[in-house]
Amino acid sequence: MSLIETAIKKIQASANAQAQTSLATNNAPAARKAAPKFEPVDPTKIRQFRRVSADAEAMERNCILPQVTDQAALRGYKILRTRIGQRLAANNWRSIAVTGTESGQGKTLTAINLSIALAQDPNTYVFLVDLDLQRPQIASYFGMKVERGLGDYLVGEAELDDIVYNPSIERLAVVPNTRVLEHSSDFLASPRMMELESSLNAESPKRIIIYDMPPLLLSDDVLTFAPRVDGLLMVISEGHTARASLERSKELLAEMNLIGVVLNRSSEHNDSPYY
C-alpha cells in the first residue's frame, strides 16, 4: 500500500470515528439541534463588484467549472463541496487556505472549482482570493483580463473596490493577482493584508473565503498565514506527490488545522452508469 493510500485511509478512519461520535451525541434528545435557518438575501443590498468577462475557451482548456463535462469530475467536485460545506457549517468556519506539497499538484484548480461549486448553492456566497504571491494563476485560469489585483492592493496602489471582480458566475467574487511580490510572507503578515481580511469578513451577506496559496514546502507563506484561516485543505496528486514531500508536509501539518485532503489524478475509477 502506498504512503498516499495509507494517509487517506487514516483520514477516512478518523472521519468515520468522528461521525459515529457525532451521531451518538445527536441521537440524544437533549442534544438535538435545530436545522439551520437561511435568511433570505435582499439582492438590492448585495454589493456589485466590477464585472469582468471570463474566457469560456480558457476555462474549458483549464478544466474550470461549469465548462467541465466529465461526469465523474462533476460528481467529485459536488462531493467535495458537500463535505467541505458540512464541515464549515458544523464549526461556524468561513475561511479555507488551499495548498499542495509542491507545484503541479492541482491546488489552484481545486481552489477554483471548489469555490464555483460552493457558489452553485443558492444560499452560499464565496470570495476566491489568489494568495499565491509568487506564482499567481487564477486570472489566467479564468482568462480574465484585469487592470489591478491583490499585489497592487498590498503595495498601496489600489483599494478594495479596484481588485474585487465579478466573473459573471452568480454568488462568486474573485480577488485575482497579476503581480509577483518578493518577500511574499512579509506582505501576508502586513497590516494591509489584515485590512483586506477584515473587509472580506465584514461583507454582507457573509461569504466563504477560499485562499489559493503557494505549495507548503516551497516557501513560508502557508506557515505565516495558516493561523489566520479556519482550516487548511491539502491537495496531493497520485503519481506526482513524492513520499519524502508527504512525510515533510505531515510534520508541518501537525501544527495546523487540516480539514481535509484531496487526492488528485486518482487512477481509481467507477464506471457504473449510476455511480
Read off the CATH number of the domain in which 216 is found: 3.40.50.300
Residue 148 included in any domain? yes
Domain count of the fold of the chain: 1
Residue 27 included in any domain? no
Name the band, by pLDDT with cuts 50, 70 and 90, for residue 82. very high
Residue 14 included in any domain? no
**Structural domain that includes position 237:** 46-264
Residue 13 included in any domain? no
Q: Is 0.75 topped by the overall pTM?
A: yes
**pLDDT, tens only, 152-168:** 999 999 999 999 999 98
Residues 119, 169: contact at Cβ < 8 Å?
A: yes
Residue 26 included in any domain? no
Name the band, by pLDDT with cuts 50, 70 and 90, for residue 218. confident
Residue 199 included in any domain? yes
Question: Mean pLDDT across the chain, nearest whole number?
Answer: 83
Residue 271 included in any domain? no
- Gyration radius of the chain's alpha carbons: 19
pLDDT value of residue 108: 94
